[in-house]
Structure 1
Amino acid sequence: MPSKKALGLTAAVAALALGLSACGGGGESGGGEGGEADALRFGYIFPETGDLSHLGPPQISAAKYALHEINEAGGVLGQEVPEILTGDEANDAAQANDAADRLLGQDVDAVLGAAASGMTMAVIDRITGAEVVQCSGSNTSPDLSTYEDGGYYFRTAPSDLLQGPILGQKVVDDGHQSVAVVYRADDYGQGLAEATATALEENGAEVVLNEGYDPNSTNFTSVVQQVAGSGADAAVLVSFEEGVQIITGLIEEGFSPEQMYSADGLNNEGLGELVNADDPGAIAGFQGTAPGVDNEQFTTALTEFDSELEVFQYAPQVYDCAIVIALAAEAAESTDPTVFVEQMTAVTQGDTQCSGFAECRDLLAEGQSIDYQGASGPLDFDENGDVTVASFMIYGFDEEGTHQALEYVESKP
């Protein structure tokens, strides 16, 4: 099967040969030769409401900060990037589709998001089918690696095929040998659960339970009972906010938080208060993994840009999405997504390493090929638009229920 990027190259060449502008992006001139490029127009689809709304603020702020940095450096191809257009995915497919339609109706050239893998699955055909570049900083489902997107979809968050081994290794390193895995039965949950279960078994642990559940259920007693009755000495919960009910139930069944693990879906600074508002420390010992990088310089800069921001999950990855898109447009000398899509991978794999939009843009102007080093680490997009190197944070909660970054681990395929 041809690679997604090969398909994207074919689409770009065909568009150039026919002299077409982007379908749903780029405006009339499309940045073609002999005319001034239209301004590069971004939109986002992030969770402003819904049960993943805690992921919204860091991603929105990171997107706005990236555009601010780009404009401070003179914009893309000498033109200021307009204010980003907004869309709320709300962890609801219908709302996510409405947001995508509104953005496409406003002729965006690139869409940042969606945040949840399932929401991207809901909108990817609309966005990439319109030959608009889509880049998510938080999608992790393995299914997106080989999805037929014409070469227009990229992500700066690592696939769960990279996260699963980190999570599985952590559980075994803590001395657990009999593990129950329960997961939300969707694109995110199933992929990460499978990768984690495989890693557990490869490290000598027995997976005594590996079951999905309906994430839209209002009662998770049966899930709790399955785990409690499995005889496991540890439980991995691949959950979003519904995992709070599972954690609470397991504690009532005698499970210690030190026996529980999760991933990015429960990487929430307020998890202790959600589990027990009167005693957030009841969650002490609970641990998990999430894509994360130890980049204090970026965190400080983003905090100066948005002083009210307290959560930073996926902020570096979203920032990198926007910067790579802008650099691809600079490299292609066009804001037409059917043209600059060809440069998305190239600007992460060139000869000269650089960081930040201004430095990399100036190197491109000198005729050099660039290897953008992101706020989230080296990206090195592969033929599927996936990063090939990723950093993960192992997080936990202390006796007061305070979220902590315990360590950072690098994973490679």
Structure 2
Amino acid sequence: MRQAMRFKTIAVVTGVMLLGAACGSSDNGGASAEGSSGGAGGGNAKAEPLKLGYVLPETGDLAYLGPPQIQAMKYAVSEINKSGGVLGSPIPAVVGGDEAGDQAIASQSADRVLNEGVDAVIGAAASGMSLAIIDKITGAGVVQCSGSNTAPTFTDYKDGGYYFRTAPSDALQGPVLADVITGDGHSKVAIVARADDYGKGLADATAKSLESSGASVVLNESYDPKATNFNATVAKVVAQKPDAVVVVAFEEGKQIIKGLMEKGLTPDKVGIYGADGLRSEDLPKLVNAKNPQALDGMKGTAPASADNPAFTKNLKAFAPDLEELQFAPQVYDCVNVIALAAEAAKSTDAASFKEQMVAVTKDGEKCNSFADCKKLLDAGKDIDYDGASGPLDFVDAGEPGKATIEVYSYKDGKLKTLDTREAAPVE
């Protein structure tokens, strides 16, 4: 991720912005920009418009995360433009592409977005999809910000200082998940996880914390998420006779959980745990459509958002059909941090405003909206943007240095929040 070395990059050449984003229309007309510098912001001259793109899931296993992230991004843009835009220019219609749970498609989408001359890209949602496009985006001198990448891989990734995330690393989530498991009295734990950076990263962080607390990890097995059945994985878990099972998965996890329950490993007999990839209102019905209550007692953890009813109310007013909200606050914060960094740098050139991305999230005067933060910047003050997802306080790596983790469960076939816990790096 962030490196001590900073690179000077060529300015991104901007072109005419496509009017239509992949999901719905924008409040702005097809504002276009000419020139190549991104604007220096001097005097009263307007900078070139800040141009945004996205690569987010519109199809595939994480399609349920597409609407909240895309709508949160559009909502942030609409609020910024109501406040006069960035450096006096409205953000044009956002151009987007589908990550689709497929690296080849995500790469093609990134190409299309980059060809529109964007200054920053929101996404991807999945860590694996971001890893498929990060070199392409950051190598082009374009800022990338994800609201849901949690794989520890990104912390030290060599991205030239262009990659950021508002979701915490699984290095912070793993210890909380382990603490929930041991707190429930379990000591013989089997872990099965997707064979990708997200799955392996969270599985290893959880296993390390479990073992340091005295629990025994009897299985830490990865599986091919594209497999057609998971009988072999289920059999390995059953053979170990654990008193708790952790499933680090996306939608395919429903098949694993269903298989475990068919073998007698039900939540009323052993601990069944998941993480953010399985946190879904629909999971009980996906596991057992006829009896969603069969999943009652399953628990999990996920990056939490601050208790922010005003944001939830306003986002739902902006997008009335929105049901799932997971990672919406984090994506909203990505857009605001980018916009505020451009204001602080007095430039929409990514090579300039990337240097302000960390600074606008800490060690300044508190503010929690683009409009309020902009007023402080205009007054020559340093700012500390506290976002819709909570205080960000980016470390040099361009990610939250601490996090609030939600503990969730299922009761009466419905998703419930049990608790939130603060997490910080384990020394």
TM-score (norm 1): 0.95
CA distance in 1: counterparts of 2:376 and 2:41, whole angstroms = 21
Q: Which amino acid aligns with 1:6?
A: A
Task: Kindly provide the CA deviation profile for residues 67-101 of structure 1, in whole angstroms up to 9, marking residues without a partner as x.
Answer: 01101111101111111111100010000001100
* Superposed displacement of residue 351, structure 1: 2.0
Q: What corresponds to 1:260 in structure 2?
A: 272
In structure 1, the partner of 2:12 is 22
Question: Contact 2:276–2:302 (CA<8 Å) still a contact in 1?
Answer: yes
Matching residue of 2:4: 6
Does residue 156 of structure 2 align to residue 146 of structure 1? yes
Residue 100 of structure 1 corresponds to 110
1:337 to partner: Cα distance: 0.5
Aligned counterparts of 1:295 and 1:201: Cα–Cα separation in 2: 35
> How many angstroms apart in 2 are the aligned matches of 1:370 and 1:23?
30
Counterpart residue number, 2:125:
115
1:213, CA displacement in angstroms? 0.9
Question: Structure 1 82/23 Cα, relative in aligned 2: closer, same or farther at 3 Å?
Answer: closer
1:368 counterpart letter in structure 2: K
**Count of residue pairs brought into register by the alignment:** 402
Q: Which one is further off, 198-207 or 232-241?
A: 198-207
8 Å CA contact 2:12–2:118 kept in 1: the answer is no
d(CA) in 1 for partners of 2:301, 2:396: 26
Q: Which residue of 2 aligns with 1:275?
A: 287
**Alignment equivalent of 1:292, drawn from 296, 304, 307:** 304
Distance in 2, Cα, partners of 1:68 & 1:5? 33
Deviation at 1:23, TM superposition (A): 5.7
C-alpha contact 1:24 1:131 (8 A) present in aligned 2: no
Q: Distance in 2 between matches of 1:386 and 1:290?
A: 16
CA shift at 1:5, angstroms? Answer: 4.5
Q: SS at the partner of 1:90?
A: coil
- C-alpha distance in 2 between matches for 1:263 and 1:30: 40
Moved more, 196-205 or 157-166: 196-205
Distance 1:201 1:263 in 2: 19
Structure 2 residue corresponding to 1:158, chosen from 162, 165, 168: 168
Q: Which has the higher helix share?
A: 1
CA distance in 2, matches of 1:29, 1:178: 58
- Partner Cα distance (2:86, 2:79) in 1: 11
Q: Provide the residue aligned with 1:38 in structure 2.
A: 48
Equivalent in the alignment of 1:195: 205
Amino acid at match of 1:361: K
The answer as to whether partners of 2:11 and 2:141 remain within 8 angstroms in 1 is no
Read off the aligned partner of 1:44 and give its amino acid letter: Y
Partner residue of 1:175? Answer: 185
What aligned pairs does 1:27-106 form with structure 2 within 5 A after superposition? 27-32=35-40, 36-106=46-116
Whether the 8 Å contact between 2:46 and 2:88 is mirrored in structure 1 is: no
Partner Cα separation in structure 2 for residue 298 and residue 113 of structure 1: 21
Structure 2 residue 427 is the aligned partner of structure 1 residue 405: no
Q: CA deviation at 1:407?
A: 1.3
Conserved 8 A contact 1:5-1:385 = no
Q: CA deviation at 1:161?
A: 0.2
1:355–1:374 Cα contact (<8 Å) kept: yes
SS in structure 2 at match of 1:257: coil
Q: Does the residue aligned with 1:4 lie in a helix, a strand or coil?
A: coil
Give the Cα separation in 2 of the matches to 1:398 and 1:217.
Answer: 30
Equivalent residue in structure 1 for 2:141, among 109, 131, 144: 131
Q: Quick check: 2:86–2:339 contact (8 Å CA) kept in 1?
A: yes
Question: 2:23 aligns to what?
Answer: none
Structure 1 residues without counterparts, runs of 5 or longer: none
Give runs of aligned pairs for residues 197-212 of structure 1, distance below 5 A.
Answer: 197-212=207-222
Closer/same/farther in 2, CA of residues 139 and 269 from structure 1, 3 Å limit = same
Cα gap change, 1:24 to 1:5, in 2 (>3 Å): farther
Contact 2:12 / 2:37 at 8 angstroms: preserved in 1? no
CA–CA distance in structure 1, aligned partners of residues 351 and 96 of structure 2: 22
Structure 2 gap segments, 5+ residues each: 16-32
Name the SS of the counterpart of 1:127 in structure 2.
Answer: helix
Report 1:209-248 matches (<5 A).
209-248=219-258
CA RMSD of aligned residues (A): 1.4
> Structure 2 matches for 1:303-342, cutoff 5 A?
303-342=316-355
Distance 1:402 1:262 in 2: 15
TM-score, reference length from structure 2: 0.92
Query: How far is the alpha carbon of 1:299 from its aligned partner?
Result: 1.1
